[in-house]
Structure formats: C-alpha cells, structure tokens
Amino acid sequence: MSETEVTLQKFDVFLSFNGDDTGRNFISFLFTELIKKNVKIPPFKYDRQISPELERISPELERAIGGSRFAVVVVSENYSASPWCLEELVKVMEFVREGSITVIPVFYDVDPCHVRRQIGKVAEHFKMHEGREDHEKVLFWRQALKDLGNVSGICSSKWEDDSKIVDKITELISKNLMIDTTRINGSDLQGIYAHMKAFNRLLNLSSKKSVRVIGIWERGSKKRSVLAKFVYQNIHQHFESHFFLESEKMVYKDRHMLHLFEERMSQLRVKNKKVLLVADDIKKLEQFDALADNFNNFGPGSIVIITTQDKQVLSSSGINLVYEVEFQRFLEVHGHFRQLAFKEKDISAA
C-alpha cells in the first residue's frame, strides 16, 4: 500500500498487540472475524510491510491510526516490553485525547491493576527500558500505559475462552459502526435497539421451515432502510449466503441489474442454501415478483426482507409478516405520554 493510499483511506479498527504473545492465536482469530464482518483494518503488521525493529512510528502508520475509528489494544505479558508497542500506544492515546478515536483495551492474561500501577512484570520491563532509552521517551510510554489502564476494558480472566472475547469485540465494533454510518448518512433511527428487539419477534432465526418473507413498511422517511441495514448487519453471519439490494441498483426497466443479481446467485450456488436477502425500497409489485422467481432456490431457514413505503406492494404480494416502523414509534410516544400524564409504568413495555 502506497503512502498516498494510506493518506486517503479511512479505517474502522487499528489493532495494537505484541505479535510474539498473541499474533498467532488471539489476534489471528480476531482479525479473521473482523474481516468477515467487512470491518476495514490497516494492513500494517499483517503483511510485514512495517518492521518491528524500526525505531520510530512511520508517518504512514501514524495516519492509519489517526484514520481509524477504533483502536483495540491487546495488552499481553510482553506488550510493555516492546518499544514498538509502546510507541504505537503513545500515538493511540494522543488520538484518544483528541476525541478522534475510541480505544478498547483487552487485558490478555494480564492484571489491569498491574498495567495501571505499573508493577510486577510491567515494572521489570520499564526498568529495562530506563537503562536503554531516553528518559523523556520512557515517561511518555509510562503515561500512555497508565492512561490505558484507567480505561474500562475486557479482562480475559473473566471469560470462558478466547472465542467469546472475539465475539464480544466484533459485536461491539459492528454495532457502533452501523450506528455511526446511519448518523453520518443523516438517517439516524431513534431507539434502533428497541426496533431491532421488536423486529426479532418476526425473524425466528432458528426456524428450519421454508423461506420466510418479512416486510418493513413506513410511509414517509428512509428510516425503514436504516432499520433494514441494521438488521442485515446484525444477522447476516447466520446465513450461508447474503445479499443487500438497493432499489436504485435493481432497476426493472430493462431487467439488467436483476439479471446480474440472478447471475451472482448462480455463481454462489445458493440452491438449497440458507440465504438472507434484503431488498430495500421496493416501489413496484413487478420488482418483487421478479425477485420471487428465485425464492424456490433458497434452502430451509432462509429469510427475505422487503422494505417499501407502499403498503399495497406488501399486501398484493401476500406478505403477512409486516413490521410497521410508524406503529412502533406511535407505541413509544404513547408510552412516554402515559408515563408523563399518569406517572405510571407502561405495562406494555414489561
């Protein structure tokens, strides 16, 4: 990757870790899961373009850290022994103080108290650094590690195994990235988790029955699309194949895009596979009918989600499972009104 490419590209997560401790196990699992969720990660340390023997952080790496939304810092037994890791951490914490990045500390087989107070193994490492490094540089390292230790993080000793920690981190990052994306697009959906919880009642992800078709209806704004994207991001990993189709890219006039979609499904051999298909902002019954021709190829447990502002499209298509965004918002507003007017708990929310 060239310097120009790093300058222009924005990333989702920067990973800081000691490769000798965690590079072949925990980080390898975490990296794989993040990539599966389409999380953008800088290539440094994965393709060995940057050598750990370098004495200073390169401008490219510094821009990669500053261009990321999250930094996952895995503090393992020998993290504080590495000048390279500590230099990275100084840069990460600088961006944290500026408010441009969120840090997620992972204390991997390390007591957070030892990191914060710099005792035990950490004290031994810094004694070594003080005999070799510039005094001011070591002070910066100490402060960065202390600041990180004061951030609430994930302690591996409290988890059953590494896979649970990896799942927790990827879930946390994916949800926050999705919320950030909807806000950036100016389409934030108030109470997104409440909507997701209500929508889950229609999903039934454990079902082994035939294809389930679910509609999301809202008359006015694009909040139905925000919800559909949020649902897709949170459940697509449960399916063997998954697609998110936007109406603008599914023009029916000459069936060109539809043909490309059918060709893509054929290439992925979706026949009898568990498939998730989200078709966003369907405007005409003909669009749905054209897609429905493919549903017979989907395997048991497959789910199709259709969003539209025309309720007639759903009824004419025979879709009985419909989530009404506006109705859910009415219930929320009505519940708040009751609490204010009568100062009583809304029993429907229990």
State pLDDT tens for residues 125-161. 999 999 988 899 999 999 999 999 988 899 999 998 8
Return the DSSP state at 120.
T
What are the pLDDT digits (tens) for 192-218? 767 877 888 888 887 788 899 999 998
The C-alpha atoms of residue 224 and residue 244 are separated, in whole angstroms, by 14
Query: What is the CATH architecture of 11-46+57-175?
Result: 3-Layer(aba) Sandwich (3.40)
Listed by start position, the domains of the chain span: 11-46+57-175, 189-324
Q: Are 21 and 76 in contact (CB under 8 A)?
A: yes
**Residue 36: which of 184, 191, 167 has the closest Cα?**
167
- Does 11-46+57-175 match 189-324 in CATH topology? yes
Return the DSSP state at 79.
G
Per-residue CA distances from 264 to 242, 250, 267, 288 (Å):
11, 13, 5, 18
What is the mean pLDDT of the segment spanning 216-232?
Answer: 82
**How many CA atoms lie less than 13 Å away from 322 in the CB half-sphere?**
19
Query: Percent of the chain beyond pLDDT 90?
Result: 33
Return the DSSP state at 268.
T
Instruction: Please report the pLDDT score of residue 141 as a whole number.
Output: 96
What are the pLDDT digits (tens) for 60-113? 888 889 888 899 999 999 999 999 899 999 999 998 887 778 899 999 999 999
The C-alpha atoms of residue 184 and residue 179 are separated, in whole angstroms, by 9
Confidence band of 263 (pLDDT split at 50, 70, 90) = low
Instruction: Please report the pLDDT score of residue 340 as a whole number.
Output: 36
**CB neighbour burial string for 37-46, b if at least 16 within 10 angstroms, e if fewer:** eebebbebbe
The fold of the 189-324 domain, in CATH, is Rossmann fold (3.40.50)
Amino acid identity, position 3: E
Q: Interior CA angle at 67 toward 18 and 163, to 5°? A: 45
List residues with catalytic annotation. Answer: 88
What are the pLDDT digits (tens) for 274-321? 888 898 888 888 888 878 877 888 888 999 999 999 999 999 989 999
The C-alpha atoms of residue 325 and residue 189 are separated, in whole angstroms, by 10
